[in-house]
Amino acid sequence: MLTITRELYDKIVAHARADHPDEACGIIAGPEESDRPERHIPMLNAERSPTFYRFDGDEHKKVHDEMWDRDEEAVVVYHSHTATEAYPSRTDISYAHEPQAHYVIVSTADTDGFGEFQFRSYRIVDGEVTEEEVKVVEAY
């Protein structure tokens, strides 16, 4: 189960809505091996695309170096889908290289009337996708 604060949940949703109609992406870092998302890091979608996202290589390296220096890891890796449900695509699955991470997908399809808003979380390990419950709390 992903347990996340209302503040971080709202930041992910705001980022997804702000970048719509392009996909948004980012990371929420937390202390290593804590499974506790704490620090929101919105990132640039290098593709600037409504159907695909890719972290900018230089920015991604900088973020990972910073997390390393702070004894953090990616607890949540998130992106948005702008016209489809919040379920990992084959490309999303192929990019999932953080086995400890919760992979959050926000669907902003409701913005253009293509569907309903969704905020869903998955574990993706060795290509296997497992949806998990999301619990939003006011504080840890």
Q: Where are the domains of the chain?
A: 2-137
On the 0-12 / 13-18 / 19+ scale of CB atoms within 10 A, 1 is exposed
ω into 50 cis (within 30 of 0): no
pLDDT at 60: 96
* Residues 36-74: tens digit of each pLDDT: 999 999 999 999 999 999 999 999 999 999 999 999 999
Q: Please give the C-alpha separations between residue 15 and each of 27, 41, 102, 106, in angstroms, as whole numbers.
A: 11, 10, 18, 10
* Residues 106-126: tens digit of each pLDDT: 999 887 777 788 999 999 999
Q: What is the model's pTM?
A: 0.95
CATH C-level class of 2-137: alpha beta
- The count of other CB atoms within 10 Å of the CB of residue 101 is 24
Q: Are the C-beta atoms of 25 and 55 separated by less than 8 Å?
A: yes
Cα-Cα end-to-end distance for the chain: 14
Pick the residue with more confidence: 111 or 88?
88
